[in-house]
Amino acid sequence: MGGPRRAVEPGAAIRSGAEAGGRPREPVSVTMATASDIDRIAELEELAFGPEAWSRDLVAAELTGPDRRYFVAETAGRFQGYAGIFLGLDSAEVMPIAVAPDRQGQGIGRRLMEALLAEARTAGVGQVFLEVADGSAAAIGLYRSLGFEQIGRRRAYYQPSGRDALVMRLTM
Ligand SMILES: CC(C)(COP(=O)(O)OP(=O)(O)OC[C@H]1O[C@@H](n2cnc3c(N)ncnc32)[C@H](O)[C@@H]1OP(=O)(O)O)[C@@H](O)C(=O)NCCC(=O)NCCS
């Protein structure tokens, strides 16, 4: 999603985060991202996507770009994740989404996706698209649970990993 650079390596840190399981003790707050979030979003982007992460400059351009909406999730005032969506005339595209490794599997990604889909509904688009790296079980499970269906595959879409992207679509 968000261009041919997504790398979703389900690495050890991410697995150990998922193993923490359960819902967060503190309530999750999801709010619109601002320019003050650029650094922490760029840091998590790097942690989540490694060599295929967006640069800080690209994160900054995205956050302030037209027709984009980015959200941050916090628990007890601590940054835990972010997600964005591009709103076109008839359709929308989910951009990056990532949750801090030690807070994954606690419902935060779902809350962020719900915020994006609420934006898509408000904008009145008929369809929402996304790309996700093949084999990214948590992300694919999240998208399927929200009604996304696979409609295609882009071979070797992610570089340098060479992983395929699955193209998914949600009809609103
Ligand atoms: C993908 C990601 C954003 C999901 O966020 P999360 O907070 O861990 O997900 P949630 O706890 O909200 O889980 C929501 C749903 O996703 C699915 N899911 C979560 N972890 C899963 C796993 N390991 N395997 C399969 N499905 C999973 C489930 O359907 C879950 O719903 P449930 O808890 O009601 O069963 C997060 O794991 C992440 O940041 N991963 C690394 C970056 C990444 O892959 N981003 C996606 C780019 S396309």
Find out whether 113 and 97 touch, Cβ atoms under 8 Å.
yes
User: 41 is in which domain, residue-wise?
Assistant: 12-124
Mean pLDDT calculated for residue range 143-152: 98
Domain count across the chain:
1
Asked, as a colleague might, if the bond just before 160 is cis with ω within 30 of 0, I would say yes
Q: Kindly state the tokens that stand for 93.
A: 């595209």
Annotated catalytic residue: which of 45, 62, 93, 131?
Answer: 131
In this prediction, residues 8-14 reach a mean pLDDT of 34
pLDDT tens figures, 15-71? 333 334 556 568 999 999 999 999 999 999 999 999 989 999 999 999 999 999 999
Assigned domain for 76 exists? yes
Return the beta strands (E) in 15-156 as ranges.
28-32, 68-75, 78-87, 91-99, 127-133, 149-154
Residue nearest to atom 27 of ligand 1 (CA): 138
Let me know if residue 77 belongs to a domain.
yes
Task: Kindly give the distance from the C-alpha atom of residue 154 to the centroid of ligand 1, in angstroms, as a whole number.
Answer: 22
Å from CA of 132 to ligand 1 middle: 12
Dump pLDDT digits (tens) for 102-141. Answer: 999 999 999 999 999 999 999 999 999 999 999 999 999 9
Average pLDDT, the chain: 88
Report the distance separating Cα 23 and Cα 8, nearest Å: 23
Residue 153 lies in a domain: no
Q: Active site includes 131?
A: yes
Residue 123 half-sphere exposure toward CB, CA atoms < 13 A: 23
CATH code: domain of residue 27: 3.40.630.30
| The pLDDT value given to residue 24 | 52
Q: Looking at the domain assignment, is residue 151 inside a domain?
A: no
Residue 105 belongs to a domain: yes
> Residues lining ligand 1, CB < 6 A?
1, 6, 8, 14, 18, 48, 97-99, 104-110, 132, 136-139, 141-142, 145
- Cα–Cα distance between 81 and 136 in angstroms, integer? 17
Decide: helix, strand or coil at residue 20: helix
91-99: strand order across its sheet:
28-32, 68-75, 78-87, 91-99, 127-133, 165-171, 149-154
Q: Which two tokens stand for residue 78?
A: 């601590």
> For tokens 């940054």, what's the residue?
79
Q: Is the pLDDT of residue 4 over 70?
A: no
114 flagged as catalytic: no
In a domain, 91, yes or no: yes
Residue 116 within a domain: yes
Quote the pLDDT of residue 23: 60
* Number of the ligand 1 atom closest to the C-alpha atom of 98: 39
Q: Which atom of ligand 1 is closest in space to residue 100's alpha carbon?
A: 39
CA 35 to ligand 1 center in whole angstroms: 26
What does the pLDDT read at residue 152? 98
Residues counted in the chain: 172
Per-residue pLDDT band for 7 (boundaries 50, 70, 90) equals very low
Residue 169 belongs to some domain of the structure = no
With a cut of 90, say whether residue 99 has pLDDT above it: yes
* The two three-digit tokens of residue 131, written as one number: 């790309």
